[in-house]
Structure 1
């Protein structure tokens, strides 16, 4: 079926294992990383593909890799982002499903099922560009970018072939890494991406910090409506309706305050937004500049594009069958590269 998908583009800024203080990795080839990740995952059930443990205080839950499809120039990587258990129906995936053969369904939470949602990423290997892919109808807020950064960082740190593992009882501890000379050393793992931006909007802000007189913040609060709450809603409308599904309600808000940031504060605001922003127009920071009639929104500076693709999309769960997506993206590779190529060095 034809569906419109949104592609948002990021430059891979750091990827690999680094010596302290160095900007060039000892090991950091994207192609090698993706090949090694695939080899590690190939025979695993999806429930064993998370690369890190979580604490109660963590803002990111468990992330699993459910599919990787490769060609010479691009790679599609699909993750499954676990969410907290809710009452009623939600998208789930069996934890014993084999990597590469995901079986996503919509059901009540049960033993052996991981509740969550899928995120889709395209790696453009030669240009070190990453694209997040989401539906363009509002669900793009769940792009899974931060979870992917953590997933690959932890893979490099704990699982990659360059880590030296030392057994202690039934566990393995990391006892250093192999450097380019095949000697033991201490290295730090990183995988960080940065949004590719159209420079003129940001330049207008950075070149006139003294003219900024107001800062705006848009955001969206999500609330999951229970089955009982949903039935009460229908009762208020004056008729009875059976329902067994959850609904996500959205509250959009727009705050603004008079504020004249200095240059350092302005750079910090932009950096914080880049690190935390999603893909929604309601996750946004804007600036009112003296002499400008309209607000300059940071989200408008992102390089992104909507494309209509012929994919296999499950309308009930929202899951896109990876093979159909990979085939369509492969056909549009040159078009997609043309969108971001003018904005990368």
Structure 2
């Protein structure tokens, strides 16, 4: 066991289940049921079979490595795929089994393995909360987690009613006909429902109001951006910045790199609101933050300080440079649950 400092950020689960058009509450399904269903679905599957969606320019595929539960606490260990490159990034064999704590390949990518990085999430269904647990990576994978679980509800849960249709070329397509209320009953309700899963950061808006009230006395603004270099746009910006700094040596990065810049502009309340809106719109505020310094006050006030977030020491069993065991993480979260919730302000 080793003592590690985890950054724990809480999100409120706004929607989870199957909803009628325009409804604010689910007609059926909830977070606890979804997680139980997910564990049953993943049981016996290989690592590569736990993918619930195909990647695109916005989010690459995600896989379920492990899942552990203790009463009202559930830990998800996800694997976030990154593009295959010549860099030495961690990878996992595609035929590893769910829940078997697969070995991670820390050298050059081997054939049949999937390069990526691990992310951890702690669900507390009774409180409609989920927390990202950041250990040795800057990225939390929160957006990918949302896409993963929404896609599971959409096409893989026990509520899905689907049929296979033959194609002219001998292949087949799977067509989703709808969603049944009772997983044991194949009949579809007359009313159509759609799956939804969405979360939002737990915030203390009063801290942002403090910054707004002092908009006319801003002396300096800092911005920190975490670039995801697996994305072409972020990678291009990073390379341009290196060129601008006259860095001639070839540079490589694991999955992310951080940049920080500061200005001393004249701003008004509209500018401040625009920055707060930009920060609020960012799906992963670990990758974007604004800091404000005011005349006569040397302290920097960061937008992220309004979040339900805490840094907490956890005794964890680390299998290698990439993974800690889900069991040790769950055990620590359960034992320190009340302390962590109180520290984070939720």
Shift of 1:179: 4.9
Q: Does 1:176 align with 2:178?
A: yes
Q: CA 1:294–1:311 in 2, change beyond 3 Å: closer, same or farther?
A: closer
> Residue 279 of structure 2 contacts residue 285 of structure 2 at CA under 8 Å; is this kept in 1?
no
Residues 20, 194 of structure 2: 8 Å contact kept: yes
For 2:11, the equivalent position in structure 1 comes to 10
Q: TM-score, normalised by structure 2?
A: 0.80
Which residue is 2:143 aligned to? Answer: 146
Question: Match for residue 115 of structure 2?
Answer: 115
Following the alignment from structure 1 to structure 2, what is the Cα–Cα distance between the partners of residues 296 and 302?
Answer: 13
- Aligned partner of 1:273 among 275, 279, 301: 279
Q: CA deviation at 1:206?
A: 5.2
Total equivalences in the alignment? 314
Following TM superposition, by how much is the alpha carbon of 1:279 offset from its aligned partner in structure 2, in angstroms? 5.6
Q: Deviations over 1:154-186 (max 9, x none)?
A: 111111222221221222111222358961433
- Structure 1: give runs of 5+ residues left out of the alignment: 226-245
Find the counterpart in structure 1 of residue 192 from structure 2.
186
Partners of 1:215 and 1:259 within 8 A in 2: no
**Structure-to-structure mapping, 1:61-100, within 5 angstroms:** 61-100=60-99
| Equivalent runs, 1:233-312 vs 2, <5 Å | 247-248=253-254, 250-256=257-263, 257-262=265-270, 266=273, 269-276=275-282, 278=284, 280=286, 283-287=288-292, 294-312=299-317
Question: What is the distance in 1 between the residues matched to 2:51 and 2:281?
Answer: 22
Question: Over residues 122-146 of structure 1, what are the superposed CA-to-partner deviations in whole Å (9 max), with x where a residue is unaligned?
Answer: 00121111111112xxx44211100
CA contact (8 A) 1:213 1:259 kept: no
Q: 1:307 to 1:96 in 2, by over 3 A?
A: same
Residue of structure 2 equivalent to 1:161: 158
Report the Cα distance in structure 1 between the residues aligned to 2:218 and 2:193, rounded to whole angstroms.
42
CA distances 1:231-283 after superposition (whole Å, capped 9, x unpaired) = xxxxxxxxxxxxxxx654845221445443549x82x6435423425464x72
Counterpart residue number, 1:239? none
Q: Aligned Cα RMSD in Å?
A: 3.1
C-alpha contact (below 8 Å) 2:224/2:258 kept by paired residues: no
Which residue of structure 2 lines up, in the alignment, with residue 326 of structure 1?
330
SS in 2 for 1:320: coil
| Paired position in structure 1 for 2:45 | 44
Residues 86, 152 of structure 1: alpha-carbon distance in 2 compared, 3 angstrom cutoff: same
Q: Which runs of 5+ in 2 are unaligned?
A: 167-171, 236-251
The 3 A distance-change label for structure 1 pair 306 and 172 is same
Instruction: Indicate conservation of the 8 Å contact 1:213/1:260, yes or no.
Output: no
SS in structure 2 at match of 1:16: strand
The 1:328–1:215 alpha-carbon spacing in structure 2 relative to 1, beyond 3 Å, is: same
The 3-state SS of whatever aligns with 2:75 is strand
Say which of 332, 337, 341 aligns to 2:341.
337
Normalising to structure 1: TM-score of the pair? 0.80
